[in-house]
């Protein structure tokens, strides 16, 4: 079994064994606290250029299947016929890779899929120690090296430190769909939504489809006039990777959507984009929120939802804060119960809202699925108003 090392930019080295492909990978080391759903995590385009450290001690029990991937339509997606299995993480670090797959849906093992897609990983390291370092010192540049990529520590640390920073990284264009595609509604067609793909997950258009919504998934560089030509009932801004401070083009597109008074709903990266369109600034978090167990407080009701999250940047603001924007008064609607991070925005007019977490939440939890119903209710109100006009 091949020796592998995880090298952090602070010079710390963790020695384990190769898990997945043999070679070299570089990325930002982050940790995910989810106990389940590793396939959804690995195929989430928001993890592009990141080395994910799993806090769950055993990974791979349920193998890999053809149903749970989250990257359908993404640039570079592997396979054909809507395959959703492209792995977007730069690398994977785990404590104890399981030796046996035990699930009736599995078509292969996790390690075999990592090898197939060329994803370099490491197993057999003390991930608790790695996570503590990242919590204390923040997410940092890292690399996993095995086989012919191994070298002396100074050289490996140099390779790690010479990679680009995540701050200032413009990555949405690297994961967005190239040509766009349509996801048809289940049953009767009720509404049409234009979804801007900044790294959209498969379950998002599926959630719309269940509510009778036809979703046009569009490239991140789509023009406002091209959206208008579709005559959508509303616009959706997806999740995605990278620094929102670099996404000036999408911010201007969002301002154009707001200027045309189209209903708008955003999640994760889309929350940051809406915030910037409303005049707010963003910052890089110390170690971010990544997992499916993060509590969020709705300021209006006091209700707490347990949410799925994956972000290393956030919006400036405080719970319940109201502020002026070019499109009317706005408010910070949600915050994280753990640290007060802004988790949602809304125009007081009700025409646009967004959350920092993932209400589509594959592989769960489903506390926030009601937000899709909230958006559909907004579309229903527009249609009713138009019919009575």
| C-alpha distances in Å from residue 48, one per residue of 7, 169, 176, 291, 326 | 19, 11, 11, 16, 33
Which of 216, 289, 334, 358 is flagged as catalytic?
Answer: 358
Determine the Cα–Cα distance for residues 244 and 135; give it in Å rounded to an integer.
22
SS3 381: helix
Rg (CA), the chain: 21
Q: Smallest Cα–Cα separation from 251: which of 268, 269, 263?
A: 269
Residue 9 CA, chain-centre distance (Å), reads: 24
Cβ(4)–Cβ(145) below 8 Å? yes
Cβ(167)–Cβ(284) below 8 Å? yes
Which of 32, 268, 311, 343 is flagged as catalytic?
Answer: 268
Annotated binding site for L-glutamine: 46, 240, 242, 269, 272, 310, 312-313
Q: Smallest Cα–Cα separation from 367: which of 309, 310, 311, 307?
A: 307
Cβ(151)–Cβ(143) below 8 Å? no
DSSP structure string for 299-352: TTT--EEEEEEEEEEEE---TT-EEEEBTEEEEEEEEETTT--EEEEEETTSSE
Give 259's Cβ-side CA count (13 Å radius).
11
Show the CA angle centred on residue 202, arms to residues 199 and 204, nearest 5°: 85
| C-alpha distances in Å from residue 363, one per residue of 69, 220, 240, 359, 360 | 10, 25, 17, 11, 9
Active site residue 358: yes
DSSP structure string for 58-114: EE-TT-B-SSS---TT-TT--SSTT------BSEEE-SEE-SS---TT-SB-HHHHH
Which of 70, 111, 113, 360 is flagged as catalytic?
Answer: 360
Length of the chain as a residue count? 389
Cβ(363)–Cβ(290) below 8 Å? no
Token pair of 77, please? 């997606």
Active site residue 311: no
Determine the Cα–Cα distance for residues 45 and 179; give it in Å rounded to an integer.
17
Instruction: Quickly list H helices, 153-202.
Output: 153-161, 172-175
Active site residue 360: yes
- Active site members: 268, 358, 360
């Amino acid at each position: 079994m091949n020796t592998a090392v995880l090298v952090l930019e602070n010079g710390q080295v963790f020695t384990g064994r190769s898990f997945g492909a043999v070679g070299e990978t570089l990325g930002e080391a982050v940790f995910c606290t989810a106990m389940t759903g590793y396939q959804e995590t690995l195929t989430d385009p928001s993890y592009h250029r990141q080395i994910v450290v799993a806090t769950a001690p055993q990974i791979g029990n349920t193998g890999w299947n053809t149903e749970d991937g989250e990257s359908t339509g993404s640039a570079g997606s592997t396979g054909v016929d809507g395959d959703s299995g492209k792995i977007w993480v730069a690398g994977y670090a785990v404590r104890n890779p399981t030796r046996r797959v035990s699930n009736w849906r599995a078509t292969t093992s996790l390690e075999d899929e990592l090898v197939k897609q060329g994803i370099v990983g490491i197993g057999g390291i003390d991930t608790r120690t790695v996570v503590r370092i990242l919590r204390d010192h923040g997410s940092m540049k890292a690399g996993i090296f095995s086989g012919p990529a191994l070298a002396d520590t100074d050289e490996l640390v140099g390779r790690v430190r010479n990679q680009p920073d995540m701050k200032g990284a413009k990555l949405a264009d690297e994961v967005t769909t190239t040509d766009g595609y349509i996801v048809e509604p289940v049953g009767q067609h009720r509404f049409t939504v234009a979804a801007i793909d900044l790294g959209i997950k498969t379950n998002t258009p599926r959630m719309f489809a269940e509510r009778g919504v036809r979703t046009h998934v569009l490239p991140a560089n789509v023009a406002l006039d091209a959206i208008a030509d579709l005559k959508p009932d509303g616009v959706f801004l997806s999740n995605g990777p990278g620094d929102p401070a670099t996404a000036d083009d999408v911010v201007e597109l969002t301002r154009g959507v707001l200027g045309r008074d189209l209903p708008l709903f955003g999640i994760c990266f889309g929350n940051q984009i809406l915030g910037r369109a409303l005049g707010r600034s963003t910052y890089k978090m110390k170690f971010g929120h990544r997992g499916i167990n993060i509590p969020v407080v709705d300021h209006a009701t006091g209700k707490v939802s347990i949410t799925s999250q994956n972000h290393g940047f956030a919006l400036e603001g405080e719970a319940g804060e109201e502020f002026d924007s070019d499109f009317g008064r706005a408010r910070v609607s949600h915050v994280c119960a753990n640290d007060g991070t802004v988790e949602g925005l809304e125009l007081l007019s009700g025409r646009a809202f967004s959350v920092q977490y993932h209400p589509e939440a594959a592989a769960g939890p489903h506390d926030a699925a009601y937000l899709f119903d909230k958006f559909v209710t907004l579309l229903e109100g527009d249609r009713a108003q138009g019919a009575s006009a």
